[in-house]
Amino acid sequence: MRIQQFLALLAGFLGFSWTALAGEWTHYGGDAGGSRHSTLTQITSENVAGLGQAWIFSTGDLTNRPDDIKVSAFEGTPILVAGSLIFCTPFNEIIALEPGTGAQKWRFDPEVAGGYRPANQFVCRGVTYWNDAGGDHMAPCAERIFMGTVDGRLIAVDALTGELCDGFGDAGQVQIDPGMDLLWPGEFQITSPPVIVGDTLIVGSALGDNQRADAPKGTVRAFDVRTGAPKWNFDPVARGAVEQPGSWGEGIAARTGHANVWAPMSVDEDRGLVFLPTSSPSPDFFGGERPGDNRYANSVVALNGATGDVVWHFQTVHHDVWDYDLPAQPSLVTLQHVDGPVDVVVQVAKTGFVFVLNRETGEPIFGVEERPVPQDGPAGEWLSPTQPHPVAPPALVPQSIAPEDAWGLTPWDRGACSDAIASLRNDGLFTPPSAQGTLMYPFTGGGANWGGMAFNPDTQIMYVNTSRALHVVKLIPSEDFAAADAAEPRKEISPQAGTRWAMRRDLLLSPLGLPCNPPPFGVLHAVDLSDGSIKWESTLGTVRDIAPLPIPWKLGTPNFGGPLVTSGGLVFIGAAMDDYLRAFHAETGEELWSGRLPGGGQATPMTYEWEGRQYVVIAAGGHSTSTTTLGDELVAFALPD
């Protein structure tokens, strides 16, 4: 530890930090803007076939939390800072490993109570590093790790020791007040890492969906990075009276919550801006209590990081009644145009759309058209007559399906799917939920989800994975909710209390348990952001680990987790529902390599160089909602030493 402190002190004197000594991947998304790009080139398309397991680390959660792990998702991406590989477990333990061997250096346990049941599984996607460049480099907590917890705490620990930072909050912790009484303790949680703008620490929240209209606010909170003192709050729900078209009905928004930021945020350090991907207001599938476009919900919102003031916003879905949250980190990249470089925000969406926005103004780079969408919602609903459709890139997933498009392994299977599709309201994208039952394509998991995109600045190509599946959303009169819930306790049936409609949501599967829509069910895309064209698409995943027999049919699978792209010409991604990490050729989309994992790889991989050797690391702990193989391992791959 004294050696580490000496090197940190030396780094401060010489004007660089541990992050410079450590290589790459110092933020959850690789950098503060979430580009998920690495300049490392040791592993290439020519030698990736020789990649093998370098080390494996077990957190012990399978043994220590056998019941809790059944409702968890190991979605964490490590960072390489302060001479250590540092990550969080689904249960908010922070662990520091020796980067070359995977040996544990220190561990911090916030002691999340056993038996705690969060709304959105036990999840921790990552931690955040901060170096006090202007302070005493030898002082405790001169380098810090910040993390939000499933039980609503913001925690600061010393990056070198794992000890709580006494000067931050109450002995290293800030307990966040959700602002109202919760239905149960797990209704409010933090799942994505905080971000830092200057000396301001900013954090969002994840909230339980569809329980009630009068739900907790989706407040984004800012704190002093040194002391934990509150600095500002931003509420994405504009409260109170009508202000202008596109806001909220008079007085109605007082009974609306959410529009929270559960996905990762991004920071433009030079401009002092933080970019928020906001979600839908509460509840998801009926908006009669919140007429209007619901400004700031379902939006990319650029805030002044020091004050919390809105600089600009762009709404991707007006008056969302489909749970089409913005699910992923807004990626901050630079496009090379004939008139010079243009800094942009790239936002992938559950709808399959990709919005490319000017970072200064929020104006679309390729244009966005307001197009008419289906109307005739349920009794009491308010619907936007139009919705934003990007001119480019084209939608990455199908957005409509007809009965004759149904898919199945047998004629009987296919026929059952065709009949089911024909029985539902099905007018394409943005068909409102209904008492008849409405077909949603893409389903509420996307399109794209929290894994986001990766971008190679040298080629101007972005890479993003998407899913293809169908949801059926059926509205139930509120007075019938209790009976419906009691009759099918294993189904997702939620009250949406405070409105006239409860809801039921189901995946539309064939009698054999496969999606009723045609494969591929998971796709990796390469999109040229110089002109918005799709360069290639490759099937992502096999049904080896989800089919009754372990046959590796390359049908693709729905997926959670994101890609990373390297200057070695490779795209690495897990995400699929079989237990593999894969490498694709960045130029052609050819799958070049796959490495077997001990559990589901529903996480985003990262890469770094340590003592001259490049490693690729992914969490392999599975995803309970996706029913992938549960585990507690972090796995590192490298070329032979």
CA distance 138 to 464: 42
Among the listed residues 603, 530, 531, the one whose alpha carbon sits nearest the alpha carbon of residue 573 = 603
CA distance 213 to 235: 16
34 is written with which tokens?
């979430």
Active site residue 323: yes
- Beta strands 570-573 and 563-566, pairing class: antiparallel
Among the listed residues 459, 463, 448, 343, the one whose alpha carbon sits nearest the alpha carbon of residue 30 = 463
* Phi/psi at 419 (5° precision): -65, -40
Q: Which of 151, 323, 325, 632 is catalytic?
A: 323
268: amino acid identity, one letter: D
398: amino acid identity, one letter: P
177 is written with which tokens?
């007040």
Helix or strand or coil: residue 291? coil
- Quick count: other Cβ atoms within 10 Å of Cβ 272? 16
DSSP state of 483: H
48 is written with which tokens?
């990736």
Distance of CA 170 to CAs 13, 156, 162, Å?
Answer: 31, 10, 16
CA distance 279 to 301: 11
CA distance 596 to 136: 45
For the chain, the straight-line distance linking the first and the last C-alpha, in angstroms and rounded, comes to 27
Q: Enumerate the active-site residues.
A: 323
